[in-house]
Amino acid sequence: MDNLSLASLVWLAGTVLFAVSLQQMRRANPDEKIPQFFGRPRNHPGEIYVYRAIALFLLLASSLAWAERLGFWSFLLVIAGATPAVMLNVQHNRRVQAEQPKVNG
């Protein structure tokens, strides 16, 4: 297995780990919106910090491995790796907002 194949597997593992950490956050806050980038939801399990730190490490490691081939653009792999978790968060927040009763006034 060459270096770029291993880097791709590491990137995939980091991406999945970010999504898993968000799934745990969704389970802890099924009826509340989860802040997208800043802020904390009411229930925030501590192990999510560990999962996100490992995921970020894996994404950065894969980005560095791809840097020889892609140059500076390899940093976009980190952003691309976090995108599925961001989309899951948007989906969760829309579902929560749709379930909240609307106030007429």
- Residue 47 in any domain: the answer is yes
- Residue 53 in any domain: the answer is yes
Q: How many domains does the chain have?
A: 1
DSSP annotation string for 13-70: HHHHHHHHHHHHHHHH-TTS---SSSS--S---THHHHHHHHHHHHHHHHHHHHHHHH
Q: What is the pLDDT of residues 38-90, one digit of tens each?
A: 888 888 888 999 999 999 999 999 999 999 888 888 899 899 999 999 999 99
- Residue 63 in any domain: the answer is yes
Residue 80 sits in which domain range? 3-99
- Residue 104 in any domain: the answer is no
Q: Residue 104 has what pLDDT? A: 66
This prediction has a pTM of: 0.84
- Residue 8 in any domain: the answer is yes
Q: Residue 63 has what pLDDT? A: 94
CA distance 2 to 7: 9
CA distance 54 to 74: 19
- Residue 74 in any domain: the answer is yes
